[in-house]
A and B are shown apart, each in its own frame.
Chain A
Amino acid sequence: MSEVIHRNSLTQLAAGLRAKKFSSVELVRAYLERIEASQPVLNAFVSVTGSQALAAAAAADRDIAGGGGGPLAGVPIGHKDLFCTEGVRTTCGSRMLDNFVSPYDATVVAKLKAAGAVTLGKLNMDEFAMGSSSETSYYGPVRNPWSTDCVPGGSSGGSAAAVAARLVPGATATDTGGSIRQPAALCGITGIKPTYGRVSRYGMIAFASSLDQGGVLTTSAADAALMLREMAGFDPNDSTSVDTPVPDYVAALDAPLAGVRIGLIKEFLDEGLDRENERRIREALAVLERLGASLREVSLPNLPLSVPAYYVVAPAECSSNLARYDGVRFGHRCKEPRDLQDLYRRSRGEGFGAEVKRRIMTGTYVLSAGYYDAYYLKAQRVRQLIAADFKRAFGEVDALVGPTSPTAAFRIGAKTADPITMYLNDIYTIGANLAGLPALSVPCGFVGGLPVGLQIVGTHFAEARILNIAHRYQLETDWHLKSPERFA
């Protein structure tokens, strides 16, 4: 087997396995070695499930030999440690769940297993997905493979760092306010957050239930299309799962872009956007125009209110969702509680980290008596205005574009002291979550040696369209093929 097997894309690996160019066991061994070597540097994994992976790989090899196996038979992947995995520790990056072994698989995990994918382990993340830098994890910060002094973005930083360093060809991730797209941009890879309701949330540990959506991180849009096709679909176990057929995202990749109308979001070209980053975005848009797409500027006047609206809605839902961690049924329990109140207070005080507590308290405050109308109801009305802006824009264009993040990756520790500075990192990504829209990020060049991303937003259930635009862009450019030298 080639020494550089990890340079293959997920699509190539799936085809190579089926053609018996290499076995899944060989592949899994090669990736496990890379994971082990990277772990002291990147800290991308919370748990590595080597022996289970090798057993699953052997089973996949038998399936392939027998002419069977799913579309991802034998392909190694990683799961963000927020997806429940039966019999495997699922921590959500928190001390609260340090000892939690899930009794069941999330639907996403079960579907990828059924498609033949082999799980190599659970990926590090911001605690309960609350963060934009993967620094709030109980298991220590994740480092960016392009520069280990920098953050990989967050909250799916372990997933993004692992894909960027070619420790896995693809990984699951989740996006509540940008947690797939922002780390994709900061790590120079491709990441898609599907439409709300497209991917089941069953077994995905809840943060903000009206915003949370599972998706994928891969090197290319073609790989994302292949993996997402297996993950998406109706699930009776998720009451907000949508019962519409999943199109063949892979088959739709090659459609020409002639006549496709693209809108550049004017409000995203604000004073917070790094000017070099803006140049990369404009260069990427020139490529799309060359491919026949028409470009115009579109205004979404309420979009700048995304961050304040989000920091009411998300903490409110978080404070409610995280009430389940009571030290009684599962998770951390304090030692020698004096009474039930003491048990609740100390178990939660000890189990949650500082950022999670901050969000629970923010949510508790905005939902408390006398403040509900002023904050929560007001934010939900502003959310409606933002969704209406998007709806209006999609009357004129097929896709909206802009930067994914204001800057390239920042240094570890640079933004931990000030939560507001950290929150503003998601200024361009939050809108799609508030409106429930599918959105992706593709690498579009470098600023100061670090990757930046182009964001493409589609209308509800237009995953195939935005993956198509991203794929055509990647046929013309090679940013997605670049990998950090240290992990070449």
Chain B
Amino acid sequence: MYDFALFFSFAFRPMSLTRAQIESIAHLARLELEPAEIPLYQESLSRIIDLVGQLDRADTANVAPMAHPLPGLTQRLRPDAVTEQDAHERYQASAPQVAAGLYLVPKVIE
């Protein structure tokens, strides 16, 4: 006799994310994916989202979200003064393509 529940849980793992959703996420993240990669991300992202679903077990009704690990830390400000020297040539030395101090990209406006 087969244990069908077990069989189905392996054969039809709940896919919470569709192929179209993965394509849309990849577009939002500006990531080119190979067609063969999409099912792999579909599977692993679905499982990560399942894992994250455990968070529902916690009662957070009256809990404020924690944006920062140090309590009471406030954003430090500095005087609005020029402190940096112009070093664009040094900073642009690692750029893929520059001309006359400008970063070059493919034409945006036709």
A interface residues (Cβ-Cβ under 8 A, vs B): 99-101, 103, 195-197, 210-211, 236, 239-240, 242, 302, 305, 307-309, 311-312, 319, 326-333, 337-346, 348-350, 352, 354, 357-358, 360-362, 364-366, 368, 375, 377-385, 387, 419-420, 423, 433-436, 460
Contact = CB atoms under 8 A, between A and B. Distances in A.
A384 B32 contact: no
A101 B93 contact: yes
Contacts of B82: none
Contact of A330 (B22, B53, B95): B95
A240 B95 CA distance: 28
B35 interface: no
Interface residues of B, number: 54
Given A339-B106, A343-B105, A361-B26, A420 B47 contact: yes
A302 B25 contact: no
A357 B41 contact: yes
Contacts of B101: none
Contacts of B37: 354
B31 A423 contact: no
Contacts, number: 167
A423 B49 CA distance: 13
B52 A311 contact: yes
Interface string B61-80: 00111111110010110100
Contact of A361 (B29, B52, B108): B29
B97 interface: yes
B44 A368 contact: no
B51 A420 contact: yes
A345 B33 CA distance: 9
A423 B96 CA distance: 35
B44 to A, nearest CB: 5
A305 B67 contact: no
B41 A328 contact: no
Contacts of B76: 239
Given A330-B94, A387-B69, A311 B32 contact: no
Contacts of B91: 103
A358 B41 contact: yes
A380 B31 contact: no
B65 A381 contact: yes
B100 interface: no
Given A381-B64, A381-B65, A327 B96 contact: yes
A96 to B, nearest CB: 12
A364 B24 CA distance: 10
Given A345-B31, A365-B17, 15 more contacts: A103-B90, A210-B67, A210-B68, A307-B51, A326-B30, A328-B95, A328-B103, A328-B105, A330-B94, A330-B95, A345-B32, A362-B48, A366-B52, A387-B69, A436-B68
Interface string B35-50: 0010011001101110
A275 to B, nearest CB: 25
A362 B78 CA distance: 35
Contacts of B57: 305
12 contacts: A101-B94, A236-B78, A308-B52, A333-B97, A338-B106, A345-B30, A350-B32, A365-B21, A365-B45, A385-B63, A420-B48, A434-B69
Contacts of A358: 41, 44-45, 48
A191 B38 CA distance: 38
A368 B30 contact: no
A419 B93 contact: no
Contacts of B107: 339
Nearest to A366: B52
A318 B70 CA distance: 20
A382 B69 contact: no
Contacts of B85: none
Given A360-B31, A377-B65, A384-B63, A309 B55 contact: yes
A312 B60 CA distance: 16
B88 to A, nearest CB: 10
B38 to A, nearest CB: 11
B28 interface: yes
A305 B52 CA distance: 9
A384 to B, nearest CB: 4
Nearest to A319: B29
Contacts of B60: 378, 381-382, 384-385
Residue from the set A305, A331, A382, A384 with the largest chain B CB neighbour count within 10 Å: A382
B87 interface: yes
A460 B70 contact: yes
A417 to B, nearest CB: 10
B85 to A, nearest CB: 12
